[in-house]
Amino acid sequence: MLQKQKIDWESLGFGIYPTRSMWKSTSNSNGQWDEGGLIPYGNIEISPAAGVLNYGQGIFEGMKAHHSSKDRVVLFRPDMNAKRISRSCKRLCMPEIPEDYFMNAILEVVRDNIDFVPPYKMGGLYIRPVVWGTAPTLGVAPASEYTFIIYAAPVGPYFKNGIKPLNLIASQSYHRAAPKGIGNAKAIGNYSSTLLPVKEAKASGFDEVLYLRADNEQLVEEVGSANIFMLKGNQLVTPRLTGSILDGVTRDSVLKLAQDKLGLTIKESDLLLEDLFKADEVFCTGTAVVITPVGCITYNKIPYKINDGNMGKVASQIRKLLISIQLEEEEDTLDWIHLI
């Protein structure tokens, strides 16, 4: 019988909070994953010549488990993460993870750490699967051994003091990803390259960076680690998946809800930066933030306010609907909820 954790749920933020256990498995040189299993959460030993440390051969995922309104622990669309991690593995020349193997490992981690899942509406258990090339590799080549780890941490609500619309700067100095590169994989290198742009943006008073397409800087790509949407009239538009944009789980969910539940026309296409300036609403989507409104975009030192700097009606409706489904407050007609 698991004991209730003595956690101050009210003060819980978004950071590392050690749990009981984590999943660990390894693959051999033939790309076959061993049985794997749970081990105590803690540090691991790794060679300084590991492929992940020297050549960035590593990927990750992000998902959450919640206590729902029905007093049970649930996951939201974990099959999407399972499919995406395999695509990311393939792109970085790592052994793919079978969907049932991935799901079993996720369920074991959540069940063993279920007492770390925050109470209803007080946050979630953030789950972080990673795959790394861990064999020593001196030359530039795929590693001969890989490690699959899943750890978890309880996190509080991302916006504890209310949602504040983002103040973005459209970058003319940096790109997030290159055409035909690894932008559509959840690769670790895609995130380390954003650290300096974000640091500079925040030093100038902005919240995040709006990245433009590397092959055409008139077109919008992503916001930091989030997908971007624009509402104009009854049409909701998001950049098409060109191969340099991450296929977000929340992105896909928003498209389906906007069309099926709100009756909006959805469009995945090239999105002009100048169209954002004239939009009725602009918002970002991601696992951590769910939906965050954009209040202002600065380009060429000119600030363009969106919806008078406020969260729009449609963004608010979709956010409420999506969270209601995740917490089983709303009927799950799309079969997105997975019971632990």
Give this prediction's pTM: 0.95
Asked if residue 212 and residue 144 are part of one domain, the reply reads: no
- Which secondary-structure segment (H or E) carries 38? strand 37-40
Backbone angles phi, psi at 229, to 5 degrees: -130, 150
> By residue range, what is the domain housing residue 71?
9-155
pLDDT of residue 2: 57
Asked if residue 228 and residue 203 are part of one domain, the reply reads: yes
In a domain, 2, yes or no: no
The structure tokens listed for 19 are 């749990």
- Using alpha carbons, list the distances in angstroms from residue 230 to 43, 99, 118, 244: 42, 33, 33, 19
Following CA atoms 312, 240, 323, 307 in sequence, which dihedral angle do they give, to the nearest 10 degrees?
-10
Asked if residue 208 and residue 151 are part of one domain, the reply reads: no
What CATH number is associated with residue 175? 3.20.10.10
Asked if residue 184 and residue 150 are part of one domain, the reply reads: no
CA distance 129 to 148: 7
Asked if residue 289 and residue 193 are part of one domain, the reply reads: yes
In a domain, 1, yes or no: no
Domain boundary among 155, 179, 214: 155
Amino acid symbol at 25: S
Asked if residue 26 and residue 122 are part of one domain, the reply reads: yes
The alpha carbon of 274 is separated from its chain's Cα centroid by a whole number of angstroms, namely 26
- Which secondary-structure segment (H or E) carries 325? helix 313-326
In a domain, 255, yes or no: yes
DSSP string, 190-236: HHHTTHHHHHHHHHTT-SEEEEEETTEEEEEEEETTBEEEEEETTEE
Domain boundary among 155, 177, 193: 155
pLDDT of residue 48: 98
Q: Which residue has the tokens 């030993």?
A: 45
Q: Say if residues 57 and 142 touch (Cβ distance below 8 Å).
A: yes
pLDDT of residue 1: 47
Domain boundary among 121, 155, 189: 155
In a domain, 17, yes or no: yes
Asked if residue 184 and residue 51 are part of one domain, the reply reads: no
What CATH number is associated with residue 38? 3.30.470.10
Asked if residue 235 and residue 112 are part of one domain, the reply reads: no
CA-closest candidate to residue 231, choices 169, 171, 166, 293: 293
Asked if residue 200 and residue 99 are part of one domain, the reply reads: no
Asked if residue 320 and residue 171 are part of one domain, the reply reads: yes
Asked if residue 318 and residue 172 are part of one domain, the reply reads: yes
Tell me the catalytic residues: 186
CA 22, 28, 33, 35 dihedral sign is negative
Q: Tell me the average confidence (pLDDT) per consecutive run of 10 residues in the chain, 340 residues long.
A: 76 92 93 96 97 98 98 98 98 97 99 98 97 96 97 88 92 95 96 96 98 97 95 98 96 98 98 98 94 97 96 97 97 96
Asked if residue 180 and residue 150 are part of one domain, the reply reads: no
User: How many domains does one find in the chain?
Assistant: 2
